[in-house]
Every structure is written in C-alpha cells, then in structure tokens.
C-alpha cells in the first residue's frame, strides 16, 4: 500500500485531537502488508490496528456508517495533498485516474464510470435519462431512501409514469417472487436498492437484474451501501446502471460518488446533464447547424465540468486503503459483526423486534430493530446524549432504529448499545 510514513504521522498530528503514536502507525502499516492474506473476522489485534487509523475518539461509539463513513488518515492525507497540489501547481484536472480505479474496484470498465458527487446525483442521471412515457411502470420498494424516491416521484409529476411497490421479504426467494408478481406489459424499469437504508436487507440484485433482462426491462440499482461493504462485480451483477457511493462504506471524502452505466446501455440512456468532456471534443458553437456532433464514447457523456481534485485524490486513496486490507477480509469482518449485533438483539427475546432478515445471504452490516413499547425517536435521542451514534428510521412509516457497523467497530461498541437497550426496556 502506498503510504508515506512521515507525511502520515504529520497529518495525523495535525488532524487528530488524539495524536497517533508512532508505534500504532507502524503496527497498522505492518498489517497492511498482509493485504494478500486472509484475515480472520475475529482477529481483534488486526482489527484494533485498523481502528487506530481513524480519527475516532474513544468517547464516541460511532455505529452510523450507513449515513457516512469516517475517513481513515491515509484518505484524509491524500485529500489534503490533492488540494495542495491543485493550489500549488495550477494544473487543471488530475482526476482522470479515478474512473479506471473505481472501475477496477467494482468490476467494470473505465469507460462505464461517471463521476458524481453523491448517490442522489447518480440516481438522477439514470432516472431522468431512461426513456419513459406516460403510463410506463417502474418497480421500487417500500423501503426507499429519499434519494431513490424523489427522482421517480418527480417523473410521475413531470411525465406521468406509474410506480409499483414491493416490500422486501425475509428471504431472497420471496423478495424475487414479490417483484415478479408486479411485472406486466406496462413495466419498463426495476429501480431498487442493492441494500435498503432502512433495515440493511441485502437484496438478490443479480437475480433481480436477470429477471429484468428476461422481461426486457431496465435495471437501475441504488448502490449507496454496496461499495466498500461487499466485494462487487458489476458486470457479473448484470445491472444497466449502479449509483455508487464513495463516502459511506468506501470511507472516502464526503461528497463523492459514481454512476456505472453498462457500455451497451449508453446508447439508450439519454444524457441530460452535459459539459466539458461530454462530447467528442469537436463542439463548435460558431459552425451551423449548431449541435453536438457525437457524445463522448464513454460514461463521460453524463458529466462535465470541474471536479474537486482533493476529493478524488481521497477516493483513490480510499480504494487503496480498502484493497490494502482486502475486500474479502472486510466483507467477512463486517458480516460477522452484523451477526453479533443480530444475536445480541435476539437475546432480548420478544422485547425487541429484529427487522433485518437472518437469512445468510440477506444480511450483512446493517441491522434494523424496534424496542417494543419504546418510541424509536426517544431512544435515538438518548443515544445521541450518551454519544452512541445510530440512526432513527422515520421513513415510510417504519419508525424504527438502525445500527450499521464497519471495520473500525468491534464487539464492545455493539455491547455498549445493548447496555443502553437493557436499561430502557
């Protein structure tokens, strides 16, 4: 892994209230060299070294990675350096390396990746660009985040499309059959999350995309929670678009994301949001007839203009950081901590309702629950006061709680939440 120890220590010193001890950094660096090795999900010595690379304080138990992930020092340092470079050398650009890096990380080609500032932007590019007419039907879940709800609701308002909804089930099989039951001759799109923000149930996206293909439908996936939590191979998944996030599970700078657009689908998805880089470079407003000659022969047709050098330098460093640990190791660790959370919640018996499926393939690092007889917002406020960060889920009438744990968390963090529950049931 490319990390400069002197700069690392300096940045840690500047940026962290708790300055990192050199020995911690060396230990962390040594274990990064283990990237090609399998790390056990319960190797607490390894994972506690990973935790030292984050500017988290001991007073705060942060278990809200589903909203955003804190960046580790190497990402913060790269972001800082990226900004410094732009401001010192005055060279325009320097983010062309990010699409190929992201592509390799998510199992796509570089010309299939558009840079975005967040998932919402990626979803909007996909949602607005898919050709639909009045009466065409789009399938969503009843567990949407506002970022995948409003763009489609806007198309109802603007173009008269129709939304059909399914509720994700406790098993992948049942979820698939609920989707299949909604498909009719007016259906055009399945636009569901890979992992809903509400309860973190991992949806069977590969089968959903296959179902879409079988019925000649478009599959547009909201990938807010996939990258950095689960190893991805988007070609294998078979989706038409996947709106990914770099600031949640990828632990990158806040305000960074990407949209994957399958190469063949680029002839179908209309670019409504264009600028520098979106055409073949031959644009000329002085020559009649004035029109775009050709769109760029890549996903660059869907975005244009100046990007933030520092933020994308941070995204590149985030990919290095995750791959330095190994996505398989990360997935195993977060899934195991998610299971520990589920088991702890189930330990309260009928006082708690665990909302996330326990089915092996349908669970990972996010869990939703309700404490019976306790208002979720009240318990959430109590957690905030006690410096335990989780999320309240008021969306879609769910009124539940959500706990999301990443590689910097451990069982003691989960236990702290359980202690709070114990005191309040």
Ligand X SMILES: Cc1ncc(COP(=O)(O)O)c(C=O)c1O
Q: Which is nearer to ligand X, 12 or 75 (CB)?
A: 75
Q: Which stretch binds ligand X (CB under 6 A): 117-125, 169-177, 213-221, 283-291?
A: 117-125
CB 273 within 8 A of CB 115: no
d(C-alpha 123, C-alpha 141), whole Å = 15
Tell me whether residue 244 or residue 324 sits nearer to ligand X (CB atom): 244
C-alpha distance from residue 381 to each of 317, 390, 392, 413, 421 (Å): 35, 10, 9, 18, 13
Burial call 160-190: b when 16+ CB within 10 Å, e when fewer: ebebbebebbebbeebbebbeeebeeebbbb
Number of residues that bind ligand X (CB under 6 A): 14
Cα 56-59-61 angle, rounded to 5 deg = 65
Residue with smaller CB distance to ligand X, 31 or 256: 256
Tokens of residue 171, six digits: 């098993």
Piece in contact with ligand X (CB under 6 A), picked from 92-100, 103-111, 141-149, 267-275: 141-149
Interface characters, 62-101, with ligand X (x: CB under 6 A): -----x----------------------------------
In angstroms, give the least distance from the CB of 286 to ligand X: 38
CA distances 405 to 194, 360, 389, 412, Å, are: 17, 17, 10, 12
Query: Looking at beta carbons only, is 196 or 326 nearer to ligand X?
Result: 196
Residue number, 215 or 273, with CB nearest to ligand X = 273
Out of 257, 310, 314, 326, name the contact with ligand X by CB under 6 A: 257
> Is 147 an interacting residue with respect to ligand X (CB under 6 A)?
yes
Among 31, 79, 98, 118, the residue binding ligand X under the rule CB under 6 A is 118
Query: What residues between 294 and 353 interact with ligand X by CB under 6 A?
Result: none
Question: For residue 128, what are the CA distances in angstroms to 191, 295, 423?
Answer: 12, 17, 48
Distances, alpha carbon 130 to alpha carbons 136, 261, 268, 304, in Å: 11, 11, 7, 19
Considering beta carbons, is residue 53 or 128 the nearer one to ligand X? 128
Q: What is the DSSP letter of 35?
A: G
At its nearest, how many Å lie between ligand X and the CB of residue 44?
29
Answer for which of 148, 316, 344, 404 binds ligand X (CB under 6 A) is 148
**x/- binding map, residues 206-225, to ligand X, per CB under 6 A?**
----------------x-x-
Q: How many CA atoms lie within 13 A of 307 on its CB side?
A: 30
* Shortest Å distance, C-beta 194 to ligand X: 8
Specify the DSSP element, H or E, that contains 62. strand 61-62
241-245 and 257-261 strand pairing: antiparallel
Distances (CA, A) of 94 to 73, 97, 310, 316, 425: 21, 7, 9, 11, 54
Cα-to-chain-centroid distance, residue 34: 25
| Pattern 231-250, ligand X, x by CB under 6 A | --------------x-----
Site string for ligand X, 186-205 (x = CB under 6 A): -------x--xx--------
C-beta closer to ligand X: residue 245 or 313: 245
Residue of the chain from 119, 139, 234, 330 that contacts ligand X (CB under 6 A): 119
Report DSSP letters for 200-229, one per residue: -----HHHHHHHHHHTT-EEEEEETTSTTT
At its nearest, how many Å lie between ligand X and the CB of residue 118? 3
Work out how close the CB of 189 gets to ligand X at its nearest, in angstroms, rounded to a whole number. Answer: 16
Residues 14-43 contacting ligand X, CB under 6 A: none
CB 335 within 8 A of CB 41: yes
Residues near ligand X, by CB under 6 A? 67, 118-120, 145, 147-148, 193, 196-197, 222, 224, 245, 257
């Amino acid at each position: 892994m490319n990390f400069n120890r002197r700069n690392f220590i300096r940045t840690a010193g500047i940026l962290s209230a708790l300055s990192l001890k050199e020995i911690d950094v060396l230990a962390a660096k040594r274990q990064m060299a283990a990237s090609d090795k399998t790390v056990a999900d319960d190797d607490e010595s390894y994972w506690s070294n990973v935790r030292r690379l984050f500017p988290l304080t001991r007073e705060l138990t942060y278990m809200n990675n589903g909203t955003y992930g804190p960046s580790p020092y190497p990402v913060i340092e790269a972001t800082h350096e990226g900004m410094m470079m732009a401001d010192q050398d005055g060279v325009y650009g320097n983010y062309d390396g990010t699409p190929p890096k992201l592509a390799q990380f998510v199992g796509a080609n570089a010309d299939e990746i558009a840079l975005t500032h967040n998932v919402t932007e990626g979803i909007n590019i996909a949602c607005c660009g898919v050709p639909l007419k009045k009466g065409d039907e789009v399938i969503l879940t009843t567990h949407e985040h506002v970022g995948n709800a409003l763009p489609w609701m806007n198309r109802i308002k603007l173009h008269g499309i129709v939304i059909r909804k399914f509720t994700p089930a406790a098993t992948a099989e049942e979820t698939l059959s609920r989707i299949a039951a909604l498909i009719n001759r007016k259906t055009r799109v399945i636009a569901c999350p890979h992992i809903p923000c509400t309860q973190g149930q991992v949806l069977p996206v590969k089968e959903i995309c296959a179902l879409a293909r079988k019925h000649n439908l478009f599959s547009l996936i909201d990938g807010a929670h996939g990258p950095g939590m689960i190893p991805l191979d988007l070609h294998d998944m078979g989706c038409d678009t996947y709106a990914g996030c770099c600031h949640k599970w990828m632990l990158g700078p806040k305000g960074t994301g990407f949209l994957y657009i399958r190469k063949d689908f680029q002839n179908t998805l209309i670019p409504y949001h264009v600028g520098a880089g979106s055409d073949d470079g031959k644009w000329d407003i002085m020559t009649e007839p004035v029109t775009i000659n050709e769109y760029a022969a890549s996903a660059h047709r869907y975005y244009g203009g100046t990007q933030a050098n520092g933020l994308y330098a941070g995204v590149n460093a985030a990919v290095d950081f995750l791959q330095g640990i190994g996505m398989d190791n990360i997935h195993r660790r977060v899934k195991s901590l998610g299971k520990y959370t589920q088991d702890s919640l189930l330990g309260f018996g009928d006082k708690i309702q665990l909302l996330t499926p326990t089915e092996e393939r349908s669970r990972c690092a996010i869990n939703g629950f309700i404490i019976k007889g306790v208002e979720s917002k009240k318990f959430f406020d109590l957690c905030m006061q006690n410096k335990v960060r989780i999320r309240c889920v008021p969306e879609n009438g769910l009124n539940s709680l959500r706990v999301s744990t990443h590689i910097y968390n451990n069982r003691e963090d989960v236990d702290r939440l359980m202690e709070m529950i114990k005191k309040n049931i």
